[in-house]
Amino acid sequence: MGNSFGRKFRITTFGESHGRGLGVTIDGCPAGVPVDEEYIQAELDRRRPGQSKITTQRKEGDKVEILSGVFEGVSTGTPIGMIIMNQDQKSKDYSHIAKSFRPSHADYTYHEKYGQRDYRGGGRSSARETAARVAAGAIAKRMLAHFDIKVQAYVSQVGPLKLEKSYQELDLSQIESNIVRCPDQQVAEQMIALIDDTRLKRDTIGGVVSAVVSGAPVGLGEPVFDRLHAELGKAMLSINAAKGFEYGSGFDGVALYGSQHNDAFVTDKDGGIHTKTNRSGGIQGGISNGEDIYFRVAFKPVATIMMDQESIDVDGNAVTVSGKGRHDPCVVSRAVPIVESMAALVIADHLLLQQSTRLDQITL
């Protein structure tokens, strides 16, 4: 269980790292969304391994194929099925991990939960699964673009290197201008240097991805449990290696007094209602208030390091495991499109959920 996300714009993913292929079904995409494989492919390419020197050098083309739900360039309202066949699923030698539990990986927990596991490349626990999410997220983004809603994420921290500027102080058009996807060029260079250095040390390091949703209307979110930020939080925490989520003022807001923290309402000259500040992060009472929605996601250092580590095998015997092959020294640059995709899926879902909220807005 647990392989579906969303209620109205609902995705279901399948696929292992080294099986025949991955895929995703979207059930509930409205009819009329322009869908083309080129756009989806472009998004997949942002997540693809081997895209830069600071990502894994593994080769996966990640070629998406739409099997259904699209006719003459637009969605038809029927489920959209997409697959990404694995190009190189040939069994390399996995004997080194077939029976070993790698530290801080999911080997042990999958083995115990299911009584067995597809150990090749981590199987289902591999972040390769997120390719399916990005394919679905691309379609959600297309739907949101129709309403001028935009989702942008960027790297705001790598190890101890923290981007101190808020998103308002940054030029988000610069996100894609460097390989680490940090809109501040100077900090980006430092981040890249740190990741490169970490790679040379055969180690890995953590980071933070920040995201902003602009253009979302007032009213998204379904209290009391499906508050918009609770859904965003779940979405982000469902991404491999995620360890924390905060929105608006987040953990730092804790230290403030209410009189400092509250966002005052103001009416602008066009009669629109806004808040002077936005410590609420665009969400009040679990419902979007029309301001920018922003949040941060913490990612731990990747568990696969190119060093020997002491561990145990399925029989409890001591073994030494060692990272082989090509792995990411830091996931955050590739996590950017994944964070965006999950955010787009949440917003799209809630936009659809919101359609039936008021009797006076329901149409036959």
**310 touching a copy of itself, by CB under 8 A:** yes
Rank residues 165 and 177 by Cβ distance to a copy of itself and give the closer one: 165
Binding residues for NADP(+): 47, 53
Among 35, 40, 56, 69, binds a copy of itself (CB under 8 A): 69
**203 touching a copy of itself, by CB under 8 A:** yes
Residues belonging to the chain: 364
Strand, coil or helix: 319 = strand
CB count within 10 Å of CB 58 equals 15
**247 touching a copy of itself, by CB under 8 A:** yes
Give which of 300, 242, 299, 297 is closest to 103, Cα–Cα.
Answer: 300
Q: How many residues bind a copy of itself (CB under 8 A)?
A: 159
**218 touching a copy of itself, by CB under 8 A:** yes
With beta carbons less than 8 A apart as the criterion, state whether 357 and 288 touch.
no
Nearest distance, CB of residue 132 and a copy of itself, angstroms = 9
**244 touching a copy of itself, by CB under 8 A:** yes
Q: Which residues pair with 100 in a beta bridge?
A: 313
Give which of 101, 93, 118, 111 is closest to 309, Cα–Cα.
Answer: 101
**325 touching a copy of itself, by CB under 8 A:** no
Among 90, 93, 173, 359, binds a copy of itself (CB under 8 A): 359
Among 64, 138, 230, 339, binds a copy of itself (CB under 8 A): 230
Residue at 158: amino acid letter:
V
Binding piece for a copy of itself, criterion CB under 8 A, among 55-63, 91-99, 183-191, 228-236: 228-236
Give which of 357, 359, 361, 336 is closest to 130, Cα–Cα.
Answer: 336
CB count within 10 Å of CB 237 equals 14
Nearest distance, CB of residue 168 and a copy of itself, angstroms = 19
Give which of 43, 24, 87, 15 is closest to 336, Cα–Cα.
Answer: 43
Positions 105 through 124 that interact with a copy of itself (CB under 8 A):
105-106, 108-110, 112-118, 123-124
Rank residues 12 and 52 by Cβ distance to a copy of itself and give the closer one: 12
Handedness of CA 232, 234, 237, 243 (dihedral sign): positive
Strand, coil or helix: 80 = strand
**13 touching a copy of itself, by CB under 8 A:** yes
Terminal Cα-to-Cα distance of the chain (whole angstroms): 35
Rank residues 173 and 270 by Cβ distance to a copy of itself and give the closer one: 270
Among 3, 57, 168, 185, binds a copy of itself (CB under 8 A): 3
Interaction pattern, residues 161-190, with a copy of itself; x per rule: CB under 8 A:
------------------------------
Among 22, 44, 188, 347, binds a copy of itself (CB under 8 A): 22
Q: How far apart are CA 70 and CA 159, in angstroms?
A: 42
**129 touching a copy of itself, by CB under 8 A:** yes
Q: How far apart are CA 217 and CA 146, in angstroms?
A: 13
Give which of 236, 207, 245, 24 is closest to 128, Cα–Cα.
Answer: 24
**225 touching a copy of itself, by CB under 8 A:** yes
